[in-house]
Structure 1
Amino acid sequence: MPASHNPTSAASQPSGHFSFTKQLSRVLVIPITILLTVFPPTTASLSVDNNNSVPNMHTAEPRTLATLVESVDCRNDNINLTLDLKPRDLQTIDCQSWIELAIPDDVGTTVEVPFVTPNQFPNNGPPSVWMTINGRYAGDQGVQMDTGSTGLTIGKGTWLEWFDGDWSKAVKYERGWKFLSSSKKLYSGHWVPTTLIFHGKSADGTRTNLLKAIVPILVFDTYYICPKFTNDQGSVCLAPTDQQTGNITGLYMGVGFGREQDGMVMCTPDKNPLLNVYEVNGQNVAGAGNPNKYHLGYIVRSDSLVWGLTAANTNGFRWMSLQKQPNASDYRDWAMATLQVSINNGRFRTGSILADTGVTQMYLSSPDVPKPIPPSYRISLKIPDVQGSLAGYVVTAKRVNNNATAESSISGTAPAYVGATNTAGIVSGPGGGVYERVFVNTGSRFWNGFEAAFDAAGGHWGVMRKIL
């Protein structure tokens, strides 16, 4: 059935590896030297020396001796070591940007969920998967899968007319909302607990059951375009530029993580279908002591989704650690992955990355975005950072005859265009956001050059270059 981020009227009915020359066998370790020189009477000069650095990335900074009790973090160059300061002291630490993900060999529960139209994603839109929702098959065109949001979102009209929903029961559940910061769309409805089934198809076209999950899904009866949304508005937009209510139709599924950071405060792990699976290939995997051992997480490829991480299917990935969401009460609740961004060969700034299956364009926020936007500018991306970058590439944003386009240093990964926002001196993002926010939504064509994986159990995000 058609699955879209865009709601429609009730009259619209749903229809029926890049090979590494050397595999890493141990943690990548980059030595960094901390040089401390005492300046009388009370200050010290601190600098980080690294052969892989770029100009202007590491800058000597004077500090008072009394406050020089800090640490070194390779990803953002903050200093965090407790030091016994003496003149001419040199200290060397081991700095790791990428880590290994150790999964026991006896953990083998995994399943590959095919995409309905492999040739559509990643170039021409999001992937779709075959699904049954609330006991009704969603149709051969499948349901869109979006890593840029969390939870299944379905219009009231679609819920009632296609999936045998009961609105009198739906309204008894928690009122909720979901806000998409890139498109400024706000969906308002109720979180209704629902059983979902992911399907495959056999050679003769027969549907097979691959994964079963139970999650609350957002059945929305109101839709807004809300350019000035903040989370204190809750489920109501105070200044919409567009609004629809009633038996609205529409359907898509979000499987992303860390989306609370981007304004989706209700999009917690309990809403993610891939993190609440209880049956795989007809075998129960829920409950303590279950013999069907699995490592909770998933891999997104250009032609399929792989649920359940194993030592075999994660071979070749390099992993970065994720931070917990602030005040997280769920062990699966991880913040977005990080990267470093330089614009027009300027300084690298640390920010958040969203590898989004839902859009073909790139969204960029940085205080370094040129003002006004020139006909061409370069965006250098290092994931997770300059020192240990695997997923490093350069996107050149262009405008030719008023048509926005882009090029990339890695074949196939150029977004359709780049939408850029200069965040210098402003608070951006819903709910107060982050001061001078640095953020990159890569767009879906990222998957032409890479595979990406999320370790929900341990809090890691992995990347692997594809064979081109």
Structure 2
Amino acid sequence: MRRSVALVATTLLAGRGVQALPVTPTENRYPVPSYCAFTESKFLPFNNAGNENWKDAPTLSITVNGRPLVATMDTGSTGIVIDAKYGFNNTYLEKNCEIGHVFYTSSHWLQEGYWCTTDVDVGGVLTSALALIRTREVCCPTFKEGDRCQNPEKACVCKGTCTTTVEQGILERNILEKDDGNGARIEARQTPTVGKAYMGIGFARGNPPSHNLFMNVKSIDGVPAGSKFRTGYVITSSGVWLGITKANTAGFSAVKLNLREGNADGRDWGEPPCYVQVNGGDWTNGTFLADTGIPNAYVKGDIPNKEGNEIAIRIPDPTSPFGEVQFVSVPKSKAGTVGTENPMQPTWVGIRTVPGVNTGRRFYNGYDLYFDGDGGYFGLRKKSN
């Protein structure tokens, strides 16, 4: 989910000088770099490991201010939102932190609170990021920067659960039509409740690396992260590896990423490339996102994305891809009823306004994914089953 933020903060940890790594000799056109020098990593099992075909978003156990929470791990956004009731004193926030907000442009939820550097323990991995400590959340389809949404809508409007009326139907259609394709969560978004947080660990999602817990690891099981730690992660069906190594990237193919314009600290990487084909037509280039936060997908092709369209995606190019997926277009009204024999079939498919695709989390039924946050590499590994 791409997010609009009120603050672009100075990076927490200065970008380390990253030496270019040699490429492992291979016939693979897209080999991974040689990570032999890096051995520090830790595997964090998902609380819901083995969930049925990635039906649900993955969750991890975290600790904030000594309080155990469950965090949804979302690759479609960057940054963690934590409710102020979990050990944050209002007086401290007002004195030491900066007022800010996060607005989810696709689901239209406005989160208000304070930007505050916060330590978070993720299964024994101590990390630190500029977190939004939330003091208020409202549904605001008409949000504009500088407007605190003095006349918010009922929560059911953004959840899409209000009693259907002509006006409500129009509003819901407008929300769908204006979706930017970067992680809409109209029906799937999880509002943090007691004991929960929302943790975005994606890249190229709007916020700089200073907001990403997985980009700011301080120690593993009490041992400070050193020269043998390579910032990044590997996502599998059962959990996530923090720290890139030769062992946990074995079997992957990878593509080098470009830095985003105006990057914050030399580690603000853009999205990987992909090509999309609709109904056997021409291949259209764009960007790729495998969003753990949603079960549906968003695609932009050369023709309208109508029901029954056959969609093919190849990463990073159409002639020598190391990742590919095919599925059919399904309207939201028929979510979960078409193409169910395909494990990578999204529940429904919407139109993306920017070129490329957001496959949703069902893509992980076919591939593991890795991201080298220090060097800017993105890779996929096809599952054997």
Range moving further from structure 2, 121-130 or 190-199: 121-130
Backbone CA RMSD of aligned residues:
2.7
Mapped to 1, the partners of 2:383 and 2:337 lie a distance apart of: 21
Deviation at 1:178, TM superposition (A): 2.4
Spell out, residue by residue over 1:372-392, the C-alpha distance to the aligned partner (whole angstroms, 9 max, x if none): x3x311111011110221211
Q: How many residues in Structure 1 have an aligned counterpart in Structure 2?
A: 324
Cα–Cα, structure 1 residues 405 and 133, in superposed 2: closer, same or farther, change >3 Å?
Answer: same
Tell me, yes or no, if structure 1 residue 412 matches structure 2 residue 343: yes
The amino acid that maps onto 2:330 is K
Mapped to 1, the partners of 2:28 and 2:146 lie a distance apart of: 44
Aligned position for 1:272: 212
Deviation at 1:359, TM superposition (A): 1.0
Tell me, yes or no, if structure 1 residue 213 matches structure 2 residue 127: yes
Mapped to 2, the partners of 1:114 and 1:347 lie a distance apart of: 41
Mapped to 1, the partners of 2:324 and 2:341 lie a distance apart of: 9
Deviation at 1:185, TM superposition (A): 2.6
Mapped to 2, the partners of 1:456 and 1:368 lie a distance apart of: 35
Equivalent of 1:342, from 277, 281, 300? 277
Range moving further from structure 2, 304-313 or 250-259: 250-259
Mapped to 2, the partners of 1:459 and 1:225 lie a distance apart of: 36
SS of equivalent to 2:309: strand
Tell me, yes or no, if structure 1 residue 455 matches structure 2 residue 372: yes
Structure 1: unaligned runs, 5 residues or longer = 1-23, 30-97, 200-209, 261-266, 424-436
Spell out, residue by residue over 1:4-52, the C-alpha distance to the aligned partner (whole angstroms, 9 max, x if none): xxxxxxxxxxxxxxxxxxxx942645xxxxxxxxxxxxxxxxxxxxxxx
Mapped to 2, the partners of 1:117 and 1:190 lie a distance apart of: 30
Residues 213 and 273 of structure 1 are in contact (CA less than 8 Å); yes or no, is this contact kept in structure 2?
A: yes
Mapped to 2, the partners of 1:180 and 1:366 lie a distance apart of: 24
Deviation at 1:135, TM superposition (A): 2.0
Mapped to 2, the partners of 1:316 and 1:215 lie a distance apart of: 31
% identity of equivalent residues: 29
- The structure showing larger relative contact order (alpha-carbon pairs under 8 Å, at least 6 residues apart) is 2
Mapped to 2, the partners of 1:458 and 1:236 lie a distance apart of: 38
Please list, as runs of the form range in 1=range in 2, the aligned pairs for 1:258-407 lying within 5 A after superposition.
Answer: 258-260=204-206, 267-285=207-225, 290=226, 293-366=228-301, 368-370=303-305, 373=306, 375-398=307-330, 402-405=333-336
Deviation at 1:405, TM superposition (A): 4.0
Spell out, residue by residue over 1:271-297, the C-alpha distance to the aligned partner (whole angstroms, 9 max, x if none): 111111111122111xxxx4x511111
Please list, as runs of the form range in 1=range in 2, the aligned pairs for 1:30-429 lying within 5 A after superposition.
Answer: 98-103=30-35, 105-120=36-51, 122-138=53-69, 142-155=70-83, 159-160=84-85, 163-172=86-95, 173-199=97-123, 210-227=124-141, 233=145, 236-237=148-149, 241-242=153-154, 249=193, 251-260=197-206, 267-285=207-225, 290=226, 293-366=228-301, 368-370=303-305, 373=306, 375-398=307-330, 402-405=333-336, 411-421=342-352, 423=353
Mapped to 1, the partners of 2:351 and 2:300 lie a distance apart of: 6
Cα–Cα, structure 1 residues 366 and 223, in superposed 2: closer, same or farther, change >3 Å?
Answer: farther
Deviation at 1:412, TM superposition (A): 1.3
Deviation at 1:146, TM superposition (A): 0.8
Aligned position for 2:26: 26
The amino acid that maps onto 2:300 is S
Residues 179 and 185 of structure 1 are in contact (CA less than 8 Å); yes or no, is this contact kept in structure 2?
A: yes
Identify, as 1 or 2, the structure richer in strand.
1
Residues 298 and 350 of structure 2 are in contact (CA less than 8 Å); yes or no, is this contact kept in structure 1?
A: yes
Mapped to 1, the partners of 2:108 and 2:270 lie a distance apart of: 21
Deviation at 1:396, TM superposition (A): 0.8
Cα–Cα, structure 1 residues 132 and 399, in superposed 2: closer, same or farther, change >3 Å?
Answer: closer
Mapped to 1, the partners of 2:281 and 2:151 lie a distance apart of: 37
